Amino acid sequence: MALKILFCASEATPFAKTGGLADVAGSLPEALAALGCDVRLLLPLYPTVERSENAAKILAEWIPIPVGIHTYHVHFWQWRRPSSYPVYFVEKDEFFHRPNLYVHPVRGDYEDNAQRFITFSRAVYALCKHLEWIPDVLHLHDWQTACAAAYRHFLWRYDPAFSHVRTLLTIHNLAHQGLFPEPYFTLTGLPQEAYTIDGMEFYGQCNFLKAGIAYSHRISTVSPRYAREILEPKQGFGLDGILRRRQDDLVGILNGIDVERWDPSHDPLIPAPFDVERLEGKKVCKDHVMQELGFPEAVKDDPLCVVVSRLVHQKGIDLILDALDDMMDLSVCLAVLGTGDPHLEKLLGQAQSRHPDRVRVVLAFDDALAHRLEAGGDLFLMPSRYEPCGLNQMYSMRYGTLPIVSATGGLDDSVVDAAQNPQTGTGFKFYEHTREAFLGALKTALEVYRNAPQWRDMQRRAMSEDFSWGRAARSYLTLYEDMVSGSR
């Protein structure tokens, strides 16, 4: 009998996206469906979701959801368009019909985020009962749905139909925890015993993610290395203690990428196709993007380093800026695409003014240009301070643009360091987050770049790596089967 899996997430492509969570929730269910799972997805109904008769149909109306002393009423919708798995939505315009998912553009986090995602989490049970479809595994994602694990533990398991359900919480970024003042606990409707140091209490606050960690049957992260890193104070963000207590139930599974959308042999957004056997088109892509960005003819054959990133401290953009003048002495060019911290944006603009022949900065979100940079670059720079998984290093390898990465999280798991493994290397790592270590990795990469046959061999190895969601889905299926084997 097919395993029944309900994905509960606050965002998923193509319906709504702010980060990597949306890529996982939008792609992994399809890969699991291809493996024979009965998988379904539940999302909030945001304004980005089309509500026309042809797009979605109403399933149920005025479903009561208790939140503290209030009872909110929600509607359930189902996506009508062709899909390999059903997608359901929770409609509550008071909470979800907003231009941004979590944050007001001026005031910061929405003041009612607790009420919004308590409502969404409690709607999980109501939807399952309405459908008369009870999952074997409730797959929760990040703090926005983590409370559902506590509801299952304290409330839902006493329903005989729900007693066998197992919960899996995937942590995409431990830095985001859903912290609220202590009085917000009363909104959850959970018994007082859930608000303890072993439950969701966190230094006098109510921590939604901690509730998921405490009460889920299993916990996963988006890479094996990140699963180890969050057990230590440096990257545990205050939750390393409870994670160490749960470490026997913690597993890291590396995310995948959309290998159809990111395929240099059939990418409509790049000027010339290429693949492992025919790399000639990559030179066409480099020439095109160098010309598009206005690099002078004199530098067009120099190594092109590219960055496609949020311009924030976590991503190590300041490290690139600190090393920039030395990079220019190595006769490389640098192209940066992204938006983020205004201070970093300003410093990047100053860097372009200081090195007008070799630096180009585009402060924008431009998906088409991102594809052209991945296709036309020689080296991709990703010096993150921490990186739960990371996707751009995988895109880069698929396009033969060899990554230079810090050895952290998913970057360490997905890139094989050519300095330590010359015969199997797919990129270059540095192991201390310092300017000197970063420049050392860059110099090693440039030595390989100057050896054309060695460079081509390394490009082909990188392009041949399997980062498909099919690989990740097989690992999740094994985890699901292990979870339910004792519950049936």
> Do the Cβ atoms of 316 and 383 come closer than 8 Å?
yes
Phi-psi region at 154: left, alpha or beta (left = phi > 0; alpha = psi -120 to 50): alpha
> Do the Cβ atoms of 460 and 395 come closer than 8 Å?
no
Q: Which residues pair with 424 in a beta bridge?
A: none
Q: Over the stretch 22-39, which tens digit does the pLDDT of each residue have? A: 999 999 999 999 999 999
Name the 3-class secondary structure at 360. strand
Q: pTM of the prediction?
A: 0.93
Q: Over the stretch 129-180, which tens digit does the pLDDT of each residue have? A: 999 999 999 999 999 999 999 999 999 999 999 999 999 999 999 999 999 9
- Residue 1's pLDDT is 80
Q: Over the stretch 335-389, which tens digit does the pLDDT of each residue have? A: 999 999 999 999 999 999 999 999 999 999 899 999 999 999 999 999 999 999 9
- Residue 487's pLDDT is 54
CA atoms within 13 A on the CB side of 315: 22
For 193, other C-beta atoms within 10 Å of its C-beta total 9
Which candidate, 415, 418, 374, places its Cα nearest to that of 282?
374
Q: Is the pLDDT of residue 488 over 70?
A: no
Q: Is the pLDDT of residue 313 over 90?
A: yes
Q: Is the pLDDT of residue 486 over 80?
A: no
- Residue 409's pLDDT is 97
Single-letter amino acid code for the residue at 98: R
Query: CA angle, 23 as apex, 19 and 25 as ends, to 5°?
Result: 110
Q: Is the pLDDT of residue 83 over 90?
A: no
Instruction: Provide CB contacts within 8 A for 60, sequence distance 6+.
Output: 75, 76, 130
- Length of the chain equals 488
pLDDT band at 227 (very low <50, low <70, confident <90, very high): very high
For 186, other C-beta atoms within 10 Å of its C-beta total 14
Q: Over the stretch 425-465, which tens digit does the pLDDT of each residue have? A: 999 999 999 999 999 999 999 999 999 999 999 999 999 99
User: Cα separation of 449 and 479, whole Å?
Assistant: 41
pLDDT band at 106 (very low <50, low <70, confident <90, very high): confident
Q: Is the pLDDT of residue 247 over 50?
A: yes
Q: Is the pLDDT of residue 290 over 70?
A: yes
- Residue 51's pLDDT is 85
DSSP state of 479: H
- For residues 84-93, average pLDDT: 95
Q: Is the pLDDT of residue 68 over 60?
A: yes
Q: Is the pLDDT of residue 54 over 90?
A: no
Q: Is the pLDDT of residue 57 over 80?
A: yes
Share of the chain above pLDDT 90, in %: 94
Q: Is the pLDDT of residue 7 over 50?
A: yes
Single-letter amino acid code for the residue at 386: Y
Average pLDDT, the chain: 96
Domains of the chain: 4-256+470-484 (3.40.50.2000), 280-465 (3.40.50.2000)
